[in-house]
Amino acid sequence: MSPEKTSRPKARLPRGFRDRTAGEIAAERRLIDTIRGVYESYGFAPLETPAFEYTDALGKFLPDVDRPNEGVFSLKDDDEQWLSLRYDLTAPLARYVAENFQNLPKPFRRYQVGPVWRNEKPGPGRFREFTQFDADTVGSNSPAADAELLMMVCDALEALGLKRGEYVVKVNSRKLLDGVLTGMNVDLSKRGMVLRAIDKLDRLGQHGVRHLLGEGRKDESGDFTKGAGLLPSQIVLLMDVITTPSQTASVEGLELAWAKSDSSMSLFTAAAEAVGELGKILKILDHQNYLDRVQIDLGTIRGLDYYTGPVFEAQLTFPVTNDAGETVVFGSVAGGGRYDDLVARFTGQQVPATGISIGVSRLLAAMQQRGLTGDEKPLIVVLSMGDAAASFATARELRGAGLRAEAYVGTKKIPDQLKYADKRGAALVVMEGDDERANKKITIKDLKRGAEVSKAVETRAEWVGARAGQETVDRDKLVEKVREILARKG
């Protein structure tokens, strides 16, 4: 009898997840370090919370509530307690503040960066695991706390290389929208669906949102999303409100736009408190010269249900190419707002809080399209010429000079080592054989230049004469020559 076949798992990624390679990781690290530098310059301090929280501590605030597990990945611990992977960094912060409230400075200002997980329907560019970079101020109900976050995210985007005009930060208020819905007599049970529909305005456009406010909408895959069931007259009025253009980035501009109809004016009166809060935020931004980057947008909602006041969204305005090769506007890369009731879930005591979150993975994709991620240090590969100790010593010498170098640790032939260096994207290789060592020389090869020269020559004699981007120098001139070549390469 033949032996039983070995059962082997299939090598495959779970849907909605992805592997990330060295180049992307290095670019993300540089992006995060830049943002961290800006946040720390404002006085924010780091905090880390675990990936898992008790499910009831996270709460049910996700917009995609029709998914299994209500949008989160959950498991039951051995003590029969349900745990869930965090879906954002804000809900764990509320738990941390409630647990440590007496020992924290008020206000408490922290930043945190890390992965979050959402059990959502994956799609192009929409993953179930992604990285967020948050900054929050807990314990202050002053509009200054909101204004500071808006200024800080502007500074972070510009520190990354974006120019003014290439992004805009849009501001609205959940209180204002609640006033609008109250004035329209929208049933409380429908408000969550209404807000989630409006939040899709940028992605689906007015036509798609009208369907979600009404009977529902079928997407490209054929899946049907039930609508909020508003009356046609309510849909018309609500769409008129949320698409009102701001004449200027000011409360006066908002009042002017809304005063065009009696119905809008009555809704404005119901939301006067929210408009007053927005006015205080904008006044601070105006004084600090940020109003060229911040504007009121009544269609800005934010999908999470815990927001209670001002909400913000940073959007990139320049065109990019999507996965389908289409030219599109990139859209939102950061968002947040005020959530004054989140800590009260644990303590029963309202603790004012506001925060903003940068979608690191999404922002990185935009930065890469823009060529703004910067280059990592060029790699130098020291080939193995039969003496591993010498190769390690040479690599260590280069690293001691602040360069990025590795010693080849395989046992293959020189052509195979050169292929390895090429696949690694190395800028240079360093070779030190017995003859070179005896003559106190060392050879440096520019891989890219060598490839260019090789294409240009027709005979081996020409290739040898051109030395294919290769230079042999005195051994004690190694670091100096490497730096010279790298500088020449730019």
pLDDT-wise least confident of 94-103, 112-121, 242-251, 456-465: 456-465
Give yes or no for residue 247 having a pLDDT over 50. no
Mean per-residue pLDDT for 188-195? 79
**Residue in this structure with the two tokens 């946040």, named with its chain if needed:** 39
The closest of 351, 322, 324, 330 to 339, measured between CA atoms, is 351
The per-residue pLDDT for range 369-404, each reduced to its tens digit, is 877 877 778 999 999 987 888 999 999 999 999 999
User: Any bridge partners for residue 172, and if so which?
Assistant: 311
Give residue 461's pLDDT: 46
Least confident of 169-178, 198-207, 248-257, 264-273: 248-257
Report the distance separating Cα 253 and Cα 140, nearest Å: 28
Asked if the 379-489 domain carries CATH number 3.40.50.800, the reply is: yes
- Segment 44-65, tens digit of pLDDT: 999 999 999 999 998 877 755 4
Residue 294: beta bridge partners? 169
CA distances from 418 to 161, 383, 474 (A): 35, 8, 22
The structure tokens 């008129």 sit at 240
**Of 10, 34, 21, 1, which is closest to residue 358 (Cα–Cα)?**
34
Residue 403 and residue 55: Cα distance in Å, rounded?
Answer: 47
Of 119-133, 170-184, 256-270, the poorest mean pLDDT is in 256-270
Q: pTM to 2 decimals?
A: 0.80
Q: Which residues contact 305 (CB under 8 A, 6 or more apart)?
A: 60, 61, 62, 63, 192, 195
Please give the CATH superfamily to which domain 22-370 belongs.
Bira Bifunctional Protein; Domain 2 (3.30.930.10)
Which amino acid appears at position 53 of this protein?
Answer: E
Cα of 463 vs its chain's centroid, Å: 47
User: Strands 167-173, 216-218: parallel, antiparallel or unpaired by DSSP?
Assistant: unpaired
The string of pLDDT tens digits covering residues 416-462 is: 898 999 899 899 999 998 888 889 999 999 987 655 544 444 444 44
User: Is the torsion defined by CA of 256, 262, 263, 265 positive or negative?
Assistant: positive
User: How many Cα neighbours within 13 Å face the side chain of 447?
Assistant: 22
Q: Decide if 22-370 and 379-489 have a common fold.
A: no
**Enclosing H/E stretch for 429:** strand 428-431
Quick one: which of 47, 49, 28 has its CA closest to 39? 47
3-state secondary structure 252-272: HHHHHHHCCCHHHHHHHHHCH
User: What are the C-alpha distances in Å from 397 to residues 393, 405, 471?
Assistant: 6, 9, 19
Cα radius of gyration (the chain): 29
Each residue's pLDDT tens digit, 129-169: 999 999 999 999 999 999 999 999 999 999 999 999 999 99
Q: What is the pLDDT of residue 474?
A: 95
Cα(227)–Cα(71) distance, integer angstroms: 19
pLDDT at 125: 67
pLDDT at 322: 64
Tens-digit pLDDT profile for residues 312-367:
999 998 877 766 677 767 778 999 999 999 999 999 999 999 999 999 988 998 88
CB 47 within 8 A of CB 39: no
Q: What pLDDT, on the 0 to 100 scale, is given for residue 182? A: 78
- Tally the C-alpha atoms within 13 A of residue 417's C-alpha that lie toward its C-beta: 21
pLDDT given for residue 414 in this prediction: 85
109's enclosing H/E stretch is: strand 108-117
Domain ranges of the chain: 22-370, 379-489
Contact 69, 82 (CB under 8 A): no
- pLDDT of 354 reads 97
Computed over every residue of the chain, the mean pLDDT equals: 84
Among 117-126, 211-220, 256-265, the range scoring the smallest mean pLDDT is 256-265
Check residues 67 and 155 and name the one with the higher pLDDT.
155
Length of the chain: 490
